[in-house]
Amino acid sequence: MERLDRWLPVAFILLLPLLCVSGVPNQKTTVSWCVLSDAEEQKCLDLAGNASAQNIRGTLQCVRGLNTRDCMDKIKNGTADAASMFADDIYAAGFCHGLEVAAGESHNGVDGISYYVVALARTSTSDLSLMEMHERSSCHPGIRTTVGWTVPIGYLVNTSQISVGQQCNFPKVVGNFFGYSCVPGVKDAQHDPRGINPKNLCEACIGDENDRHICASNHRERHYGESGALRCVAENLGDVAFVKHTTVFDNIDGKNQESWALDLELEDLKLLCPDGTEAGLDEFQRCHLAAVPANAVVVRMEDKCRVWKFLERLQNAFGNATEGFRLFGSAGYSDSDLLFSDATHHLQRVLGSYTSWLGSTYTNMLQAFECEGFC
């Protein structure tokens, strides 16, 4: 009996795709979606109304959540069935609550990948390697962000360049590792309630035009965000910037009219690869720290099939709409990326586990922070 109990969950996972294809009836026809804002709730209600008007099988119900963790709890206890979540939250949902993913976003025809996290440096900077960053200077979009913290610091842990030990004090270890940095928000009370985080993590920050708001976790700090981290390197205040692969292209050719960006050219910058080599800016698909997975729809294991089938019907009706209600667009609402990212091309079914969606490299980055506790 013990052996049978052990294999029943595995057998259920293996049989789930067959059950979905074969059309085994499920008594529950309502899908309750957890939303986090007034704008998202309104789009959810509009989607429900449009689906009903087109006689799409199933009913969409909108449930308000306090935050992403509250949505996880609601899905786990059955008061909600689904919610779209970022990669870090998908990991927490699976790791802490045993939840899974039913569908994931595909952007620009690249299934499952939202963006790449890359390390940028000036072409003129020599003797610089990601394998030997000790006492070099770094520019980060912000503390506790995927691009600026989770991925680069996870990389340093996984390559044994830093070790947090039992104290699990990442800011202290990172401050001791880099010579100086700009990590906006690292001195905020939320992240440094006792005021002990290293000062050198703000030394490459410049604040606003009046030298105020230095190291703030908003755009008053001019080195905040991906563009700010790029500026930090462009202005020779950092050796390396951790940004999205699109950051440079979003700030050149007149797209950014600030003085620091006007003369910036592709030839001025290079990528640093995880193996210690260098590459051109267009080689991000092979030279990156992590491919960050796109958002995915989190559900209970037993609802993977049911929710996917409902989403498939919604996608067929509204996924490619050029007028009327658009599933992958937020025009007309007071916010962007509602229910799904506006950049979504289509939703794809996820048959594997949440870790298969996240990918081994990105999952390893997140596992480096397990001592902080995800749950």
**What CATH number is attached to the domain comprising 98?**
3.40.190.10
Choose the final residue of a domain: 273, 291, 309.
Answer: 291
Q: At what angle do helices 87-97 and 360-367 cross, to 10 degrees?
A: 70
What is the reported pLDDT for 27? Answer: 57
Q: Considering the domain boundaries, does residue 232 fall inside one?
A: yes
Identify the burial level of 26 via C-beta atoms within 10 angstroms of its C-beta, where 0-12 means exposed, 13-18 middle and 19 or more buried.
middle
Structural tokens at position 111: 């299934």
Q: Considering the domain boundaries, does residue 334 fall inside one?
A: yes
Q: Considering the domain boundaries, does residue 162 fall inside one?
A: yes
Would you write out the chain's pLDDT as a tens digit for each of its 375 residues? 444 444 444 444 445 554 465 444 445 789 999 999 999 999 999 999 999 999 999 999 999 999 999 999 999 999 999 999 999 999 999 999 999 999 999 987 666 788 999 999 999 998 899 999 999 999 999 999 999 999 999 999 999 999 998 889 999 999 999 999 999 999 999 999 999 999 999 999 999 999 999 999 999 999 999 999 999 999 999 999 999 999 999 998 889 999 999 989 999 999 999 999 999 999 999 999 999 999 999 999 999 999 999 999 999 999 988 788 999 999 999 899 999 999 899 999 999 999 999 999 999 999 999 888 878
According to DSSP, the residues that pair with 349 across neighbouring strands are 103
What is the reported pLDDT for 28? Answer: 79
Q: Are residues 310 and 253 in the same domain?
A: no
- Report which residue type is found at 62: C
CA dihedral in degrees (101, 106, 107, 113; nearest 10)? Answer: 60
Q: Are residues 169 and 305 in the same domain?
A: no
Q: Which positions ≥6 away from 348 have C-beta within 8 Å?
A: 103, 104, 105, 106, 111, 112
Count up the domains in the chain and report the number: 2
Range of the domain at 173: 113-291
Q: Are residues 87 and 199 in the same domain?
A: no
Q: Are residues 99 and 133 in the same domain?
A: no
Choose the final residue of a domain: 240, 274, 291.
Answer: 291
Q: Are residues 179 and 207 in the same domain?
A: yes
CA separation, residue 365 to residues 38, 172, 208, 217 (Å): 33, 19, 33, 23
What is the reported pLDDT for 30? Answer: 95
